[in-house]
Structures are given as C-alpha cells and as structure tokens.
C-alpha cells in the first residue's frame, strides 16, 4: 500500500492483511460492515508526537471526537495521553476508559452548566473557554461548587488553514473561539472573576491540514498574545495549539510526518517556557483504521457501473458530507476471469449522496470484500442509524490477535427506546 500505513497493511499471497490478521478472517468472524484498527499503527502515531516533542514539557490531548471507542481511549490513556473533550458524554467515556481527569481539556462553544459541573467535579486540567458569556457562567458554576475553574481562552488567530470550509475553524468568520484582538480585555475580565484560574491560551485553526505553515503562523500570533498578557501581569502556564494535522487519503498525497509537520511550529516556539499542549485527533487514528465491506451486487448500467456494498453513508459519512476521498481496495487478489471496470462504490441507502467512492478501477465480483482505507478518524464516530441500519462492529488487531471492541448493534437495540401510544 502506498498510503501512510507504515507497513501494517500488506498483501500476503494476494490477500490483504492488517498486522498479521487476514481481513477475510475478520469478516468471517465478525461480519461486515466492520471497522478494523491496527493497535501498532495507533501506538506508532502516538509515538510520532512523543518523538517530535521530546525534551519539551508537553501534553498530548487526543481529540476524542475522532474516534471515541473505549478500547482506543484506553490504549492512549495507557500511553500517557491526555484528552480533548467536547461534551459530558466524552468526559464520561474518557473516565470509563481509565483516562486521567487531570489531563483533560474541555473545548466547545456550547458547554452546558451540567457539563461544566461534571467536569469540575471530575477535576479536569482546563476549560477552553470560547466566549465572554461562558466565562460568566463557568465562574458562577465553579462558585456554586466552592471551586475554581482552570481556564484558557480559545482565541481565533484568523489564519487560513487551507482546508475544506466545513473543517476550517480559525477564521474570523468562524463560530469558534474569541477574536484575538478581544482576548486581552477578556483575560482581564477573567482575572477579576473570583472562581476562575487563568492557566493558558488555546487555538485550533482547522482539520486535515497538510501544510505546516498556517499552524506556525498561528503560533506566532499566540506568542504575541502571551507576551502582551505577561506585560500586563497575566502569566500563562501553557499554550495549546490544537489539533489539525492531516493524513494521507489518496495515494498521491504526501502528508509530512509528525516531526516535519511540527518543526516550523516548534522553531517558532523555541525558548518559550510555557508547557505545550496539542489536541490531535485524525493524525492519531485516521490511518490506523479501515472499513471492511462486502459487495452485494454489481450493477452494470449504460453510463455507469455500480458496486453496491453493505456499508453506506450511515457508516462512513465523509464522502457524502465533505466529498472526501478514501482509497478503496479489494481484499483478495482478483480471479483470472475477473475484468477491471470503473465503479461507483455505493451503499444501499435511499440517497444519491450515498457513495463511498466514485469512478474507482476495481477487478471484483459479487461477494468480494473491499477495504475503505484511512477510515479510523471521523468514521465510526460520525456513524448513524439512518435507514434503521445497525452500526458496524469494531475490531482491533494486534499482531496475530483480533479483539472485538464493539459488537454490531442488533435491531432490537435500535428501537428499544421507542414506544407506541397507549
Ligand atoms: N481540537 C478542536 C477544538 C477541534 O475542534 C478538533 C476537530 C480537534 C482538536 C481535532 O482535530 P484533528 O486533529 O482531528 O484535525 N469530521 C471532520 C473533521 C472535524 C474536525 C472537528 N474538530 C472530518 O471528517 O474531516
């Protein structure tokens, strides 16, 4: 495979395997559609950050939204990671997975008071506050519990991350964060509030970033702000640069490795005493997972050929939502009599947007397995039950072992919470 799978995905006698587990065996044991993750690839991605940041005081807070399976959270917790959460639900997951509350940062524009209370009670490391109104309510909630809330302001450095508009978050027009030119006065307001403790500053400019320049530019703006605050007597203990590093989705994409990606940013930050925080999501899990699906029907039309598979936009929404490209490969080598053709790989859902890939050259037959690559991030996490489809199973492989880390949903579970009128 030419994508950044670090050799964890390979062909043995024509059969695709992840680590030492043939994908056909995963499908046989647990059915399809099924998400399959490589433990070694997850650990490797995390170690990439550890090496890139060696010798600095840092905290790597995995962005739980990218993939919140307990086994994945537990794996990162064991490696020493902190977590970036955006809801009370994610807080509960991290704690259930054995994560350390003292390493959690809580981001998000719309935290409820109940979520603030839960996070304060758990003793999280920092709230990334995104508005003046949130400062006020957090101060009140902390006061009502007799606590002080540790805070950073999430500022909007107004740099163009050069990514898809839906996942660019650091522009002036974005709903996230506070404008960097309002930050000084907000820090002074925060300082005057009795139940807040100023700990740092945060930013996150966007996701699937391939060019390291925008994040380095954001860092220089953050440094200027930290210096301005320090001149006014407000010392920051940490600088949180958010997440955003991209992964390879296409064979011809060349995403820099973590060391190279962070180099310009670390150069901009050299000599700083503050602790550095990062909130990577996609770059820790994206390339470590794939979606395994079986071809139900091949349909040869007059203008197009369709490979109708058993996974759909409810399992992997990214192609429908962002027009995202995921490489799709056959799991088995083709039989001699199978011809290559160009297919749209589509699901069974009643929407024209229900495709996993369009115009793909494949040599396949009905019943064959396909692997949709680099689907570890924002795949299962964004899945739904649309069309009353049970969500996929999830499996983690490690060497020659496979572990079921989420059972496939059953139909009963799908309507267990509903009731008919009496
Ligand atoms: N921190 C904050 C405050 C964020 O909003 C995000 C992602 C992250 C960290 C992690 O960013 P990452 O390292 O994963 O790029 N569903 C979209 C991506 C949405 C990203 C939202 N925020 C997709 O499938 O491409």
DSSP 288-341: GEEEEEEEEEEEE-SS-EEEEES--TTT--HHHHH-----EEESSPPPTTPPPE
Task: Report the pLDDT value the prediction gives residue 7, as an integer from 0 to 100.
Answer: 85
Q: What tokens does 335 get? A: 């039989």
Residue 67 Cβ contacting ligand 1 at under 6 Å: no
- Name the phi and psi angles at 190, rounded to 5: -60, -40
Residue 91 Cβ contacting ligand 1 at under 6 Å: no
In Å, how far from its chain's centre is CA 254? 19
Task: Report the pLDDT value the prediction gives residue 251, as an integer from 0 to 100.
Answer: 80
Task: Report the pLDDT value the prediction gives residue 138, as an integer from 0 to 100.
Answer: 98
328: exposed, middle or buried (Cβ count in 10 Å: 0-12, 13-18, 19+): buried
Residue 242 Cβ contacting ligand 1 at under 6 Å: yes
111-119, long-range: CB within 8 Å, 24+ apart, which pairs? Answer: 111/138, 112/88, 113/137, 113/141, 114/88, 115/87, 115/88, 115/91, 116/141, 116/142, 116/149, 117/141, 117/145, 118/88, 118/91, 118/92, 119/85, 119/88, 119/91
Those residues with Cβ within 8 angstroms of residue 368's Cβ, 6 or more apart along the chain or in another chain:
294, 295, 330, 331, 332
Q: Of ligand 1's atoms, which has the minimum distance to the CA of residue 378? A: 24
Measured in Å, residue 131 CA sits from the centre of ligand 1 at: 19
Residue 207 Cβ contacting ligand 1 at under 6 Å: yes
Domains of the chain: 9-38+287-415 (2.40.37.10), 107-280 (3.20.20.10)
Q: Which residue's CA is minimally distant from atom 22 of ligand 1?
A: 207
Measured in Å, residue 64 CA sits from the centre of ligand 1 at: 9
* 61 flagged as catalytic: no
The tens place of each residue's pLDDT in the chain, 422 residues long, gives 546 667 899 999 999 999 999 999 999 999 999 999 999 999 999 999 999 999 999 999 999 999 999 999 999 999 999 999 999 999 999 999 999 999 999 999 999 999 999 999 999 999 999 999 999 999 999 999 999 999 999 999 988 877 666 666 656 667 788 999 999 999 999 999 999 999 999 999 999 999 999 999 999 999 999 999 999 999 999 999 999 999 999 988 888 899 999 999 999 999 999 999 999 999 999 999 999 999 999 999 889 999 999 999 999 999 999 999 999 999 999 888 999 999 999 999 999 999 999 999 999 999 999 999 999 999 999 999 999 999 999 999 999 999 999 999 999 999 999 999 99
């Amino acid at each position: 495979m030419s994508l950044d799978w670090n050799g964890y995905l390979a062909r043995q006698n024509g059969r695709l395997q992840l680590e030492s587990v043939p994908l056909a065996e995963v499908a046989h044991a647990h059915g399809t559609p099924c998400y399959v993750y490589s433990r070694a690839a997850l650990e490797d991605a995390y170690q990439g950050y550890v090496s890139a940041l060696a010798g600095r005081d840092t905290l790597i807070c995995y962005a739980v939204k990218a993939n919140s399976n307990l086994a994945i959270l537990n794996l990162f917790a064991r490696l020493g990671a902190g977590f970036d959460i955006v809801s009370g639900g994610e807080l509960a997951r991290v704690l259930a997975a054995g994560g350390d509350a003292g390493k959690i940062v809580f981001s998000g524009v719309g935290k409820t008071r109940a979520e603030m209370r839960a996070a304060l009670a758990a003793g999280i490391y920092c709230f990334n506050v995104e508005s003046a109104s949130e400062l006020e309510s957090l101060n009140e909630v902390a006061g009502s519990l007799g606590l002080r809330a540790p805070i950073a302001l999430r500022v909007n450095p107004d740099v163009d991350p050069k990514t898809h508009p839906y996942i660019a978050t650091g522009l002036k027009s974005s709903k996230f964060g506070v404008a960097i030119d309002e930050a000084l006065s907000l820090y002074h307001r925060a300082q005057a509030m009795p139940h807040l403790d100023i700990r740092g500053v945060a930013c996150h400019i966007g996701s699937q970033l391939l060019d390291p320049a925008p994040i380095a530019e954001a860092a220089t703006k953050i440094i200027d702000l930290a210096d301005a605050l320090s001149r006014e007597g407000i010392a920051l203990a940490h600088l949180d640069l958010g997440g955003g590093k991209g992964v390879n989705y296409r064979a011809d994409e060349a995403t820099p490795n973590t060391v190279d990606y962070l180099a310009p940013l670390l150069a901009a930050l050299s000599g700083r005493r503050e602790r550095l925080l990062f909130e990577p999501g996609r770059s820790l899990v994206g390339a470590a997972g794939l979606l395994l699906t079986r071809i139900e029907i091949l349909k040869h039309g007059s203008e197009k050929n369709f490979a109708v598979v058993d996974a759909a936009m409810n399992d992997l929404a990214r192609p429908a939502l962002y027009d995202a490209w995921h490489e799709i490969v056959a799991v088995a080598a083709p039989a001699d009599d199978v011809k290559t053709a160009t297919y749209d790989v589509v699901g069974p859902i009643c929407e024209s947007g229900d495709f996993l890939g369009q115009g793909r050259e494949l040599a396949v037959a009905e019943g064959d397995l396909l692997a949709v690559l680099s689907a570890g991030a924002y795949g299962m996490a964004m899945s739904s039950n649309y069309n009353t489809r049970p969500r996929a199973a999830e499996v983690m492989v490690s060497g020659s072992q496979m572990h079921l880390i989420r059972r496939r949903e059953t139909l009963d579970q799908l309507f267990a919470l509903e009731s008919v009128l009496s």
